Amino acid sequence: MKVALVGCGFFALNHLHAWRDIDGAEVVALCDLDPARLALAGDRFGIDRRHDAPEALFAAGGFDTVDIATTVPSHRPLVELAARNGVHVICQKPFAASMADARAMVDTVATTGKTLMVHENFRWQSAVRRVIDEVRGGTIGAPFFGRVSFRSGYDVFSGQPYLAEGARFIIEDLGIHILDIARALFGDVVQVSATTRRINPNIRGEDVATMMLAHAGGVTSIVDCSYATRRVPETFPETLIEIDGDAGTLRLDAGYRLTIQTAAGSRGIDLSPPVLPWGSRPWHNIQESVVAIQRHFVDSVAAGTEPETSGADNLKTLALVEAAYLSAAEGRTVRPSEV
């Protein structure tokens, strides 16, 4: 797979490291509107082919996959440009600024027959993945309640200043991951009720969100997110999970400690992820998941199968984001089919 990376900013460096760890894939070209960021990434990863405009990148060609690691305003034009050029597409989350944009992007790539995956990596964190596998494997029987929780006081704004500037913040940027994990665990959602708050006076959007989801299969889950929570130890960027099933319970606690309780007794498992040679704490679990999702993309294209977080799949996660904002704004329960 010959990959062109568009967007060489804060998070793209993780994509570039991950691509180096994956057999059968190679980044052959870089593109960024910002010449300083383009030079930094190109020099650091020894990639000589550099373009300061996406149109020039595509005009030169020579790749079969584009990896879009820009922020959301550029996603639709870049995905449409990729579709016009008939390449496979990976696009960072949030996939689109609206459901209308997202649906149009999915439809456009579908006409090309190429693969479209949203880089929704949280469900690929190894500890989260283990929980998903245990639940899907029936370890605790049929789940009836879940809590998927992300609470932190970590300063995300210094690395990603744009997060302080948008009218929307935590549901769109972080809650989207946690909602996606809830979908991976408990399936499609039929009702959402949410409340939001802004605690930090120095940002524009909401930094606290509490969402209750009714899943089609009968599970009720709570998805709660906060960047206004001071806690020791600081758990950024861990997702904590608690699930009750009719044959047992499962908890993923701080420090990646999994506890499974069934009639057979209780067992604890340490799920601490490795720090990859290029990684660093506390981002190591996210960095590991970037390798996992990009490897999954390569495998999916090779096998001709749809990636788990394909564009079509991600419409359902994005609908939960929109439903949560609508619910919080109107103080009522919202069906994802409304948005």
d(CA 229, CA 239): 14
174 touches ligand 89V (CB under 6 A): yes
Site track 7-46 with ligand NAD (rule: CB under 6 A), x = hit? xxxxxx------------------xxxx--x---------
Is position 92 an interface residue for ligand NAD (rule: CB under 6 A)? yes
Q: Which of 67, 134, 173, 242 binds ligand 89V (CB under 6 A)?
A: 173
DSSP H helical ranges for 85-218: 99-110, 126-136, 170, 176-186
Half-sphere CA count of 214, side-chain side, radius 13 A = 8
Stretch that binds ligand 89V, among 58-66, 172-180, 256-264, 294-302 (CB under 6 A): 172-180
Closer to ligand NAD by Cβ: residue 156 or 334: 156
DSSP state of 122: G
Q: Residue 10's binding partner, choosing from ligand 89V, ligand NAD, none, with beta-carbon cut-off 5 to 8 A by kind?
A: ligand NAD
Backbone angles phi, psi at 66, to 5 degrees: -115, 135
Q: Which of 1, 5, 6, 192 binds ligand NAD (CB under 6 A)?
A: 6
In the complex with ligand 89V, the residue whose CB is nearer, 78 or 156, is 156
User: Per this entry, what is the length of the chain?
Assistant: 339
Per the CB < 8 A criterion, the answer to whether 150 and 228 are in contact is: no
CB of 204 to ligand 89V, least distance (A): 15
Binding mask 129-168 for ligand NAD (x = CB under 6 A): -------------------------------x-x------
**Token code pair at residue 269:** 């498992």
- When CB distances are held under 5 to 8 angstroms depending on the partner's kind, the choice from ligand NAD, ligand 89V, none that residue 148 binds is none
CA distance 296 to 62: 22
With CB under 5 to 8 Å by kind, the binding choice for 37 among ligand NAD, ligand 89V, none is ligand NAD
In whole angstroms, give the CA distance from residue 115 to residue 106.
Answer: 10
Place of tokens 């590991």: 288
Q: What is the 3-state secondary structure (H, E, C) of 257-316?
A: EEEEEECCEEEEEECCCCCCCCCCCCCHHHHHHHHHHHHHHHHHHHHCCCCCCEHHHHHH
Task: From the list ligand NAD, ligand 89V, none, pick the one residue 174 interacts with, judged by a Cβ distance below 5 to 8 Å according to partner type.
Answer: ligand 89V
Site residues, ligand NAD (CB under 6 A): 6-12, 31-34, 37, 54, 69-72, 74, 78, 92-93, 119, 121, 160, 162, 173, 286
Site residues, ligand 89V (CB under 6 A): 156, 160, 173-174, 177, 237
